[in-house]
A = this chain, B = another copy of it.
Amino acid sequence: MDLLTRKTFKRFKLHKKVGLPPGTIVHVGEKKVETTRITFIDYDEKDFQEKEIEKIEDSFVFKDKPTTTWINIDGLHEVKIIEKLGAYFGIHPLILEDIVHTGQRPKIEDFGDYIFIVLRMISHGDTKDEIVGEQISLIFGRNYVISFQEREGDVFNPIRERIRNAKGRVRKAGADYLAYLLVDAIVDNYFVILENVGEQIESFEEELVSNPTPETLHMIHKLKSDMIFLRKSVWPLREVINGLERGESHLIKKPTGIYLRDVYDHTVQVIETIETFRDMVSGMLDIYLSSVSNRMNEVMKVLTIIATIFIPLTFLAGIYGMNFKFMPELEWPLGYPLALGVMLLVVAVMVFYFRHKRWL
Chain A residues engaging chain B, CB cutoff 8 angstroms: 1-2, 5-6, 9, 12-14, 16, 18-24, 92, 94, 104-105, 107, 109, 158, 162, 167-170, 181, 184-185, 188-189, 191-192, 194-195, 198, 201-202, 205-206, 209-210, 214, 217-218, 221, 224-225, 228, 232, 258-259, 261-262, 265, 268-269, 272-273, 276, 279-280, 283, 285-294, 296-297, 299-301, 303-308, 310-315, 317-327, 329-336, 339-340, 357, 359
| Complexed CA–CA distance, A289 and B12 (Å) | 24
Bound-state Cα–Cα, A162 to B272, Å? 38
Query: How many angstroms between the C-alpha atoms of A228 and B188 in the bound complex?
Result: 24
Report how far A217 CA is from B253 CA in the complex, Å.
Answer: 54
Question: Are A315 and B310 interface neighbours, CB within 8 A?
Answer: yes
Among residues of B, the one whose C-beta sits closest to the C-beta of A323 is B330
Residues on B with C-beta less than 8 A from A321 are 317-318, 321-323
9 closest A-B pairs by beta carbon, nearest first, are A21-B168, A317-B318, A16-B191, A320-B322, A19-B158, A321-B321, A324-B336, A9-B202, A314-B315
Specify which chain B residues have a CB less than 8 angstroms from the CB of A305 in the assembled complex.
303
**Chain B contacts for A198, CB-based, 8 A:** 9, 12-14
User: A340 vs B326: C-alpha distance in the bound complex, in angstroms?
Assistant: 13
